[in-house]
Structure 1
Amino acid sequence: MGKLELQQMVLGPVYTNCYFLKNKETGETLIVDPADSPKRIFQKVEDMGAKPVGILLTHGHFDHIMAVQAVKAEYQIPVYACRQEEEMLREPSVNMTDRMHKPCSVRPDVFLEDLQVFEAAGFSIQMLHTPGHTKGSCCYYLKDERVLFSGDTLFCGSVGRTDFPGGSSREIRESLHKLLNALPDETNVYPGHDTSTTIGYEKRYNPFV
């Protein structure tokens, strides 16, 4: 991780990983999936001496977006997401925040297309559209840093569940193969829940391959 300082918090009712991608050279920081507890996120940012410049969303389920609005407002920063996730992010009945009695509608500032490369916080980032968990699930790949943020598409030894609206077991297997075929074995994978892994490990041991 050349210029990437990566830190993590586990937040919310289903233990979601929220990641902080700090550029060591500038302090600029991206927040991946601000899941819940905005005050804890603010404190983490302060403790890191970070300068938030953007929010990256891997998908729109409630357990990944509950703090988005507060974080966006606090730092006046843009939200990035896959274009195919627009409806889920917008509609509380679809993203299930209404079931949590905290209806939340997120309207991203930047919609990304599959394989699009963009610059943020001094990093070159590629968005990979990986449907299956949701229609607009995506991953963020930082080639120079050899890291992938896989959301709920790829877990250590598993994949995301597909029984929610918009889920598809066929599509998530296709998305898994897309990642494993495209990325180097040494790529470190940071998922939306549980522990990190590598592309090489998943090629050998993931039962969904």
Structure 2
Amino acid sequence: MLIAGFPAGSFQTNCYVVAPAAGEECVIVDPGQDAVPGLDDLLREHRLKPVAVVLTHGHIDHVWSVAPVCGARDVPAWIHPEDRDLLSDPAKGFGVTSAQLFGGIKLSEPDDVRELSDGAVLDLAGLRIRVDHTPGHTRGSVTFGLTEEKVLFSGDLLFAGSIGRTDLPGGDFPTILRSLASTVERLPDETVVLPGHGPQTTIGRERATNPYLAEATPPAGPARGI
């Protein structure tokens, strides 16, 4: 198993490539702002051929580069239907108009967009990727699990020591707590968590130290980040 990644753009959103091994097909997870050069470097270094882009949710810091990445490689993008509209209208994720968002930035859907469903298993690049719908940060947030390898791409559901913000349109604090609980309770402690921002962690470490998994949960989610 080969997993490599880097923090992309000013948001420092983690973009990952996943493959059975070097020199094989791969899947790209969350190509955010200015991700193309870093992705090109990783693909060249490990001699990888992308077959799909999978998106944990539709916020602009996770999907900024999805159309150029998919277009250049002629591959589909997978996203949950609840967040699909954010691909072409990212301002909806912030409750502003397009003209107010980053000087009127315009994004577009890739030519081939496919919709994720809860509990689906994607067979891509020789990998079996489990999809779980985990709303709360956005309505269409999902996680991607490599069950046999005990790896979870958590998007902005779960960070090391924290969780995703819930004060943007589509966010809801009680909902993200339910998604968090259902995710954590089914995974073993040794599961490696690769989040959308910040360092990797493990389910066991988060069970022991994350205040949002404690018995006395904070009364509200964090209001920072994207």
Q: What percentage of residue pairs aligned between the two structures are identical?
A: 38
Question: Per the alignment, in what secondary structure is the counterpart of residue 212 of structure 2?
Answer: coil
Q: How far apart are the structure 2 equivalents of 1:58 and 1:131?
A: 10
Give deviations 1:167-204, integer Å, cap 9, x for gaps: 00011111110111111111100000001111111111
For residue 40 of structure 2, what is the aligned residue in structure 1?
Answer: 42
Letter of the aligned partner of 1:17 in structure 2?
A: N
Q: How far apart are the structure 2 equivalents of 1:116 and 1:67?
A: 25
Contact residue 36 and residue 65 of structure 1 kept, 8 A:
yes
Structure 1 stretch 135-144 or stretch 97-106: which is displaced more? 97-106
TM-score with structure 1 length normalisation? 0.93
Contact residue 130 and residue 139 of structure 1 kept, 8 A:
yes
Contact residue 128 and residue 138 of structure 1 kept, 8 A:
yes
Q: How far apart are the structure 1 equivalents of 2:27 and 2:178?
A: 28
Question: Per the alignment, in what secondary structure is the counterpart of residue 42 of structure 2?
Answer: helix
Does residue 106 of the first structure (1) align with residue 103 of the second (2)? no
CA drift at 1:15 = 0.6
Q: How far apart are the structure 1 equivalents of 2:142 and 2:178?
A: 13
Q: How far apart are the structure 2 equivalents of 1:90 and 1:67?
A: 12
Contact residue 92 and residue 105 of structure 1 kept, 8 A:
no
The count of aligned residue pairs is: 206
Contact residue 16 and residue 64 of structure 1 kept, 8 A:
yes
Contact residue 133 and residue 162 of structure 1 kept, 8 A:
yes
Give deviations 1:33-70, integer Å, cap 9, x for gaps: 00122133222211221111110100111111111111
Letter of the aligned partner of 2:158 in structure 1?
A: L
Q: Which of the residues 6, 30, 35 maps onto 1:33? A: 30
The 5-angstrom pairing of residues 88-103 of structure 1 reads 88-95=86-93, 98=98, 99-101=101-103, 102-103=105-106
For residue 59 of structure 1, what is the aligned residue in structure 2?
Answer: 57
Letter of the aligned partner of 2:137 in structure 1?
A: H
Question: Per the alignment, in what secondary structure is the counterpart of residue 100 of structure 1?
Answer: coil
Question: Per the alignment, in what secondary structure is the counterpart of residue 46 of structure 1?
Answer: helix
Q: How far apart are the structure 2 equivalents of 1:36 and 1:58?
A: 15
For residue 218 of structure 2, what is the aligned residue in structure 1?
Answer: none
CA drift at 1:94 = 1.2
Give deviations 1:114-139, integer Å, cap 9, x for gaps: 11112011111111111111000110
Does residue 116 of the first structure (1) align with residue 120 of the second (2)? yes
| C-alpha RMSD of the superposition | 1.6
Contact residue 132 and residue 167 of structure 1 kept, 8 A:
yes
Give deviations 1:52-106, integer Å, cap 9, x for gaps: 1110100111111111111101110111112221222332321459412322133
Question: Per the alignment, in what secondary structure is the counterpart of residue 145 of structure 1?
Answer: coil
Does residue 189 of the first structure (1) align with residue 188 of the second (2)? no
Q: How far apart are the structure 2 equivalents of 1:13 and 1:106?
A: 22
Question: Per the alignment, in what secondary structure is the counterpart of residue 189 of structure 1?
Answer: strand
Unaligned runs of 5+ in 2: 214-226
Q: How far apart are the structure 1 equivalents of 2:42 and 2:21?
A: 16
Question: Per the alignment, in what secondary structure is the counterpart of residue 141 of structure 1?
Answer: strand
Question: Per the alignment, in what secondary structure is the counterpart of residue 87 of structure 1?
Answer: helix
Q: Which of the residues 189, 203, 206 maps onto 1:202? A: 206
For residue 21 of structure 1, what is the aligned residue in structure 2?
Answer: 18
Contact residue 89 and residue 95 of structure 1 kept, 8 A:
no
